[in-house]
Chain A
Amino acid sequence: MKITVEEEKCCGAGQCVLIAPEVFDQREDDGIVVLLDAEPPAERHDAVRESADVCPAAAIHLDGDE
């Protein structure tokens, strides 16, 4: 699994950080998503998928996800 994020679409909700705090964070000044781990280990894939699903700005994309 490879994660990409669209900073321009990100609305700073932080839903991804709530679900997968090992993978996502937010910038202090404007809340935009910070990708901590673009290729997380398998045990975090479910949380990452949920983060991508609930992202209110549809700003998280997953490649190579089975």
Chain B
Amino acid sequence: MNAPGHVLVVGASAAGLSTAEALRRKGFGGRLTLIGAEPEPPYDRPPLSKQVLSGAWEPTRAQLRTKEVLDALDAEFLLGDPAAALDVERRSVSTASGTTVSADAVVVATGITARTLPGQSGLRGVHVVRTVADSLALRSALLKARRVVVVGDGVLGAETAATARLMGLEVCVVGPQPAPMTGQLGPFVAGHLAALHTGNGVGLRTGVLLDALLSQDGAVTGVRLSDGEEVAADVVVAAIGCSPCTDWLAGSGLDLDDGVVCDAHCRAAEGVWAVGDVARWHHQGLGRLLRLENRTNATEQALAVAGNILGEDRPYLPVPYFWSDQFDVRLQVFGVPSAENTVEVVEGDPAEGRFVVRYDGPRGPVGVLGWRMPKQARLHRAGLVDHYTQPLEPTAP
């Protein structure tokens, strides 16, 4: 396809904004439109469970660009107006307010939405952390609270628990895993995370599920767990994962399966692309579909999609990366490790609170994690590059 005259980006957060910026950077001089569900100008989400929640930053500091920089992008922003439907044939998007925008290329960058707990709707004191409004509402509630229960033992639950604990609250984390992030990082690192949290006074309830939210007069008073224990709380945070925002694409004809399913070039249909948390594309290095919910992917995939819209015709083959801050520990995670990998300490010393581990799968190294050793972790990333960037040879059955 020739260079499009008009690109419509649906989603005005990191992935959508980065796509627009990359298009301009690569010389796209046509019309550019961004549709955003939220009313705020594009902002960064990682600080929402950390600096914005703790109050260390004013929320405006999380804004991704100044007004001047956004103006210089020469794009039309339609904010506070969620997309409601996509016509793939015509490449036109209609919004909740009834506006319809047609373009030559459409980029789906609608991200993910936080899952909620059964019984959460309408109950005061139960929060999620996904938008800046969520983060500020939770902060306001935590400032008046004494006890908080975080339901969810993934990265968001662990970070939110650490922030709340540092704000002086009694904190309890509830989750099905033996330790926080076990499924993602394996038992070795998860064990260190559990020790970090308990050492800082966080209560962990592992291997249990939420049975019910307890409430009185429309306000949450605690939780009942699957083992029968009841834990009192003034505030409950639901950090049980997210779902791709694809409801608006139902009936569009796009392949929707835990995200917008794309080819190796992040293309969902002729002239339709997906980027960021919502995109589930074929990672040729891994030989399977992959969807990443992390900040780095939003910008790196945006560069790839912008290039492919302009005809670069390159598969997207990243070495995934995310980081996490919990108490005084910063984790750097390169690759996609799993709980099944073998783990070897390759730098530092866990006993001294600084180390790098390498995760090995059947075909060799698949991941590197730094625990308070960012630079050293990054240097070990080099050992993963082939695994992610060499297209996987088909293997005999």
Contacts and interface: CB of A to CB of B under 8 A. Distances in A.
Interface string B356-375: 00000000000000101111
Contacts of A27: 375
Nearest to B375: A26
Given A12-B323, A56-B299, A58-B64, A49 B25 contact: yes
B332 A31 contact: yes
A27 B372 CA distance: 12
Contact of B375 (A31, A54, A57, A58): A31
A20 interface: no
A30 B303 contact: no
A13 B299 contact: no
Given A12-B332, A15-B321, A57-B46, A31 B299 contact: no
What size tier do the contact residues of chain B reach?
20 to 34
B378 A31 contact: yes
A51 B394 CA distance: 34
Interface in B287-303: 294-296, 299-300, 303
Main secondary structure of the interface of B (DSSP, over half): helix
A17 B300 CA distance: 15
B18 interface: yes
Given A12-B332, A31-B332, A56 B321 contact: yes
B375 A11 contact: no
Main secondary structure of the interface of A (DSSP, over half): loop
A2 to B, nearest CB: 15
A53 B303 contact: yes
Interface string B1-37: 0000000000000000010011001000000000000
B330 interface: yes
A43 interface: no
Contacts of A50: 303
A52 to B, nearest CB: 10
Interface string A1-37: 0000000000111110110000000111011100000
A31 B381 CA distance: 14
A51 to B, nearest CB: 11
B230 interface: no
11 contacts: A13-B296, A13-B323, A13-B332, A18-B378, A30-B330, A31-B330, A31-B377, A54-B300, A56-B295, A56-B321, A57-B295
Interface of B: 18, 21-22, 25, 44, 46, 64, 294-296, 299-300, 303, 321, 323, 325, 330, 332, 370, 372-375, 377-378, 381
In the A-B complex, the 9 residue pairs with the smallest Cβ-Cβ separation, listed nearest first, are: A31-B374, A12-B374, A14-B378, A26-B375, A56-B296, A56-B295, A31-B375, A54-B299, A11-B323
